[in-house]
Amino acid sequence: MDIITTRELRENMAAVIRDLKRGKAVQLSYRHRVIGTLQPSPPAPMPLRQGSPEAVRNFLETADFGPIPSKLRTDHRSFKQQVAELRKQDLQSK
């Protein structure tokens, strides 16, 4: 861990930033006293790519689809037919 003065920090800001990016911590001194420490930040986690298996798994684990109506569980028709009927009933009820 290097110790630099506040003046050196002002004059060599690019070098200090480069050292922080490389993972080196730097202590700041002012009038021969250490006044603080600059720590490198931890790397940010990579965002999930849309459509990746991890993104799909994360969505399925966190999404709340609500309870499945019992009528849909026991119906033998295709999903499209069931949804069409539910939409029709919903439109008629409005």
Interval 26-39: pLDDT, tens: 999 999 999 999 99
Note the CATH architecture for domain 2-38.
Answer: 3-Layer(aba) Sandwich (3.40)
DSSP per-residue codes, 33-63:
EEEEEEPPPPPPPPPPPTT-HHHHHHHHHH-
Locus of tokens 């009528």:
71
| pTM attached to this predicted model | 0.44
Q: Extract the residue ranges of the chain whose pLDDT is less than 70.
A: 71-72
The confidence score (pLDDT) of residue 72 equals: 66
Q: To 5 degrees, how large is the angle CA 76–CA 60–CA 44?
A: 170
Domain boundaries, the chain: 2-38
